[in-house]
Structure 1
């Protein structure tokens, strides 16, 4: 297996995972209409997706530790491939909720396994690739969200789910045979199904958590902030997250080179500084234009913080990569799950501008913990 083939195979898996997640977004209003449910009931379904991910991630972390990431990602990706079809054909509220829970589980399991395989490729190549892998995930998410609504509107949700399934299956046929075949150390083959007892992965997970909360805050509340507190039109308000997502995608493809040149610790600190400046600009702005520029700057900073944390977690000394990654992915993605509700509650009492300023201060946590990122460096000399 050549290094290049393995590198592009795992990148393709990130794209496929992003495509599935992006394709989920336009299905939410369709499911609401088909099931005749309220926003609150839909919110429980969405919460079930996150719960499924958090429940299954440790299982696949142990599978990575016992059998290697290539085997784990094959199991998870094969199960995830048709997962959109499951929820599209389920007839009732609870059956859809169960399908969405399973969807979250296999997507989360695939996330842990493919990140572990990316870590294995990094080790093998002695070269960082994690940021660009997450860049491919962003491209997949953009493709899924961008095309999903049009396909559903034109052909219906079942046809849309089948088309996405066929696209993902095509990617898997090409990518899965070309994965790097990593093998766990003999002493790791009987890793118990429990979370690590060393504090290091939890500290790295805290770093990922505090990096992902601002991303969730911009995703869910930037448009509301621009509309309600600055009087922006709906069309302008949509640029809040779009600006952040666009700069994030670009910086993720540049991030590996930056990490190779400056090192993981320095790159993380600079990224956190850019994110803090962007969030502060957004929070202090009194017009949509500067606020959108602030969100764009925040995206530049947020882009590479989580990939660096994932690389660091996969290389914690004395700990199997899958177990470290399961902790960090659980803690990191819980930030996206916790942010919407918590920020919505806070917004009842303080302005969104103040909240974004508070999130800028929150990023002092990864700055203080940045020395832990040194295990994400792979370059010699």
Structure 2
């Protein structure tokens, strides 16, 4: 077997990058998919729900797979299924088959997401450094690249088939390169430690704290998913803009989110994760209100840019805190928080679609604003749910220390 000489952190970042490309291309292609299949907002919401159901089904079960297989192997399998489903989406005409293919795409992405975040948490604990934000920054860069790719193809008269083929090829190639280099620099002893971490038992005293982290992740990813999947549709529908303009609007959101995440580790070290969560949530709520009230596309793009910066480091901070709070049971802690969080990411867009169909897209974004305000409230009670380090048994890193270290 060929071995690519790269650090394990770089290999992990390639999985994040590939997943981001796939999600970015998927989100930016939704207006074209709706037009090709003559879907209204409610039907498009059902399509997104199929993606959510597939992802959540796998997310709640991937934890069992990580006890027997390397995270990199599971990530590769998830990425290849995700890529294959994206490749098939434009070629499906009937609603039942489209639902099945989108369900498979969600299952592939859900598998990839939990396994790569678990791998990232283990890498952080192994080197005792916080770099979760930069890995999620790679995901955001992928979002930007995928959206830009789709925007360019659509702007030059390309079809949805070309968009999805290009995105699927990038996702599959990045995942295979990451797999080839994923084991470089990891000793047999470290592999044993990683397996033990995923098999450890979670102390019940941690559950209230993890459930609060999961609730914050749920709200954040519900809002983030709504912005990702409906910002392009909002621009096309409300302002009667071209589909390519909608894709570029999403690209603005993704680009500022990438900038925020690539600088997030530095910011977190200086402000602390709790203060950063509160400020970010309030900033995002204000930006969404500006989006709803915007009279023209210039203001819309500014609002998307601000919200991208604000939302950037909420989820990385929460995931990093969960992994470190779990200590020897980091895998189980991460599974609880990521499953709750990505339930929001995957169910949120479908819920917003139903609200848009029943009322309006402005009402949908009003729910996004409310989610950010609830996050701000939740951060005030975060320390109250955190058990003292001495109350948690058999944990190498107490949850309070995990929050402070960020």
Which TM-score band (shorter chain)? 0.7 to 0.9
2:208 alignment counterpart = 199
Residue 208 in 1 paired to residue 217 in 2?
yes
Please show how residues 7-156 of structure 1 align to structure 2 within 5 Å. Answer: 7-24=9-26, 44-64=46-66, 66-67=67-68, 71-81=70-80, 83-85=82-84, 88=87, 97-147=99-149, 150=153, 153=159
> Distance between the aligned counterparts of 1:375 and 1:310, measured in 2?
14
1:264 alignment counterpart = 273
Following superposition, the deviation at residue 145 of structure 1 comes to: 4.1
Counterpart contact for 1:272–1:366, Cα < 8 Å: yes
| Structure 1 portions without partners, runs of 5+ | none
Alignment CA distance shift 1:191-1:28 (3 Å): farther
1:295 alignment counterpart = 304
Following superposition, the deviation at residue 244 of structure 1 comes to: 1.9
SS in 1 for 2:324: coil
Following superposition, the deviation at residue 314 of structure 1 comes to: 1.6
Following superposition, the deviation at residue 318 of structure 1 comes to: 6.6
SS in 2 for 1:127: coil
1:214-236 per-residue CA deviation (whole Å, 9 max, x = no partner) reads: 2233234334545665x463366
Following superposition, the deviation at residue 95 of structure 1 comes to: 6.0
Following superposition, the deviation at residue 378 of structure 1 comes to: 6.7
Q: TM-score scaled to structure 1, two decimals?
A: 0.78
Which range moves more in the overlay, 303-312 or 217-226? 217-226
Following superposition, the deviation at residue 250 of structure 1 comes to: 0.5
Q: TM-score scaled to structure 2, two decimals?
A: 0.74
Following superposition, the deviation at residue 348 of structure 1 comes to: 5.8
Counterpart contact for 2:48–2:346, Cα < 8 Å: no
Alignment CA distance shift 1:89-1:246 (3 Å): closer
SS in 1 for 2:125: helix
Counterpart contact for 1:315–1:376, Cα < 8 Å: yes
Counterpart contact for 1:244–1:296, Cα < 8 Å: yes
Following superposition, the deviation at residue 353 of structure 1 comes to: 4.7
Which range moves more in the overlay, 217-226 or 133-142? 217-226
| Structure 2 portions without partners, runs of 5+ | 1-5, 384-398
Please show how residues 185-264 of structure 1 align to structure 2 within 5 Å. Answer: 189=199, 198-226=207-235, 231=239, 233-234=241-242, 240-264=249-273
1:330-369 per-residue CA deviation (whole Å, 9 max, x = no partner) reads: 2222223333343344446766556545533432322233
Counterpart contact for 2:326–2:333, Cα < 8 Å: no
Following superposition, the deviation at residue 169 of structure 1 comes to: 1.7
1:238-270 per-residue CA deviation (whole Å, 9 max, x = no partner) reads: 554333222101101000111112211122122
1:183 alignment counterpart = 193
> Distance between the aligned counterparts of 1:124 and 1:314, measured in 2?
12
- Matching residue within 277, 280, 287 for 1:278: 287
> Distance between the aligned counterparts of 2:46 and 2:358, measured in 1?
24
